[in-house]
Chain A
Amino acid sequence: MSTERDVTRIVRSWLRTDEYDFPVEIVDDVLARLDATPQDRLIWPARRFADMNTYTKLAIAAAAVVVVAFAAFNLVPRTGVGGPGVATPPPTLAPTPSPTAAAFPPAGALTIGRHSMVLEGLTVSFNVSTSGWISNGSFGVDRSPDIGPEGASFIFWTDTPVGVFIDPCAAVRGPSVGVSTAALADAVASVPGTDLVSGPSDVTVGGHPAKLVVISIPDDIGCDPQRFNLWYAPTPGFARYATALGSTYRVWIIDVNGTPVWMDGETFKGAGPEPARQLQKIVDSIQFE
């Protein structure tokens, strides 16, 4: 049993030893936006307003209400209002920026349609044909916020993994296997403690040759699944770990003109065919631009 002092010490230590790289571009981005960000100015100098008598303050306040009400009245669209009125200028269309690929679809629900992202420096797009998919804004999309038979999720690796764990529970990494999709697929198929369901198989994704490996997490992995590490990227420390016992992972490793691009989809224990079908549908829609 931890004492209160122990918990305080542990929490303080945890908060202080967590270290994060500071994104230096923050300040530049903010300074670049200052010209478009006017500073607040008081309409009346506060001191002068405080010196006024009550009637003057009320008069100014009343005038302000009238001005605001008038402005609001003129700004509200008058759909359905007939008869003569104030002539309004014809609507103008704001210039539409030409579409550019975002690094990842912004966090939130994905609309039905095509979404793009940048993986390994390549612009990739995929189609969402049903509602319910959510982007986390940086690396994944998820069909259900809950882990369960109906759920499905993707990690699209902006930075392709280069190796797997040789002791998943102890987080011991095997050596990097390089950029060969065949070697990467073989490594995935041999993660200790996992069950190989199928593959590596030769498939095509977005018109490019790819390897597909399907593995699952058995019930006897020997540690909590969330401490069961699967594969890692060269970005220091980033690795995939299992979500739950019984999860199935479909790993597509695509050879885009010599550049490996990696995406893995997860379905959960008890899943019927539909979640996997949804994952495959998204993979089938992938296009490289």
Chain B
Amino acid sequence: MDTDLVVRAQHGDKDAFGILATEAASRFFAVARRILRDRDLAQDATQQALLSTWRALPRLSDPARFEAWSYRLLVRACYAEGQKERRWAPNLRLLPMDMPVVDDGLSSIVDRDQLEAGFRRLSIDHRAVVVLHHYLDLPLDRVADIVGIPVGTAHSRLHHAMCALRAALEADLRPSVREAAQ
């Protein structure tokens, strides 16, 4: 991260901010899309986070911390957009067959569907911790700093979320087990 750009943007340089925003936008969208599981909500969250970043930049005391600080604004925007989420009955999906075929331990479409369903059942608080830690590879102390929670709470949320996702993955096995027992 070029701190000179951050300093220029802090002083109202729109061109400098344009460069920062261009660099940050795709990363923001990737994180928001994974947390919110909805393209439109993720797009809105990304835009809100970028505008919040512009607005609040003069209050950033350490330009070297721009990245972590801006992720905090993104997570807040995701919380706000997540409030708009509603349970939705009609079903339209991106077909798994169009996804890249990778030997990644995701043994089947079933795993993806189960993970998707399990992840959607998590609160935005829990999703944010999972995505920041397992997608961005951030250590939990930095995750806690970004989300604004104690490190112990970050550990607890991650543990709860992973237990829920494991249960979601294993739930698919249960009908087979019942069938075998009959």
Report the contact-size class of chain A (Cβ under 8 Å from the partner).
35 or more
By a CB distance below 8 angstroms, the chain A residues around B97 are: 171, 237
Residue B80 interfacial (CB < 8 Å): no
A7-B169, A17-B106, A39-B58 are contacts. A227–B113 as well, Cβ < 8 Å?
A: yes
Residue B180 interfacial (CB < 8 Å): no
A11-B115, A145-B87 are contacts. A27–B25 as well, Cβ < 8 Å?
A: yes
By a CB distance below 8 angstroms, the chain A residues around B6 are: none
Complex CA distance for A38 and B55, rounded to whole angstroms = 6
A9-B105, A39-B12, A243-B90 are contacts. A229–B166 as well, Cβ < 8 Å?
A: no
CB pair B51–A37 under 8 Å, yes or no, is yes
Residue A239 interfacial (CB < 8 Å): yes
CB pair B89–A243 under 8 Å, yes or no, is yes
Residue A86 interfacial (CB < 8 Å): no
- The 8 A-B pairs of least Cβ separation, nearest first, read A237-B98, A13-B104, A140-B90, A153-B90, A237-B94, A15-B135, A7-B166, A237-B95
Interface residues of A (CB under 8 A from B): 1-2, 4, 6-20, 22-23, 26-27, 29-31, 33-34, 37-42, 107-108, 134, 136-140, 142, 144-147, 151, 153-155, 171, 226-227, 229, 232, 236-243, 266
8 contacts between A and B (CB under 8 A): A17-B100, A30-B21, A31-B18, A34-B54, A38-B55, A139-B90, A145-B87, A171-B97
Interface residues of B (CB under 8 A from A): 12, 14, 17-18, 21-22, 25-26, 29-30, 33-34, 39-40, 42-43, 46-47, 50-51, 54-59, 84, 86-100, 102, 104-106, 109-113, 115, 130-131, 134-135, 162, 165-166, 169-170
